[in-house]
Amino acid sequence: MIISKIKLENIRSHNKTEIQFTDGINIITGNTGSGKTSILMSIEYALFGKIGEGKEEGKMLLRRNSSEGEIKITIKNVNEEYEISPRP
């Protein structure tokens, strides 16, 4: 199984972001504060329902002054796709 796509809305520094991952190795790069860690934290929250060692709640992922946010992770397995969409 691989993560093929992630969509973030009102998550930390991401207003609306969609990332398509390709087969093979993908590298996330960017300047300080551009949202690299937010992407990883969102994936962790979507897959495990917690951030870090369970000390952080999903609401801490919300963009400042936002009461709602959305995380959608698309996972591909051979010819099937699954979508995980927890609400922070």
Long-range contacts, stretch 48-54, CB < 8 angstroms, 24+ apart: 49/86
| pLDDT grade for 88, boundaries at 50, 70 and 90 | confident
Domains and CATH numbers, the chain: 2-84 (3.40.50.300)
Q: What DSSP line would sit under 27-65, residue for residue?
A: -----TTSSHHHHHHHHHHHHHSSBTTTTB-GGGGBPTT
Tens digit of each residue's pLDDT (9 = 90 or more) over 69-86: 999 999 999 899 999 999
pLDDT digit string, tens, across residues 3-52: 999 999 999 999 999 999 998 999 999 999 999 999 999 999 999 988 88
What's the predicted TM-score (pTM) here?
Answer: 0.87
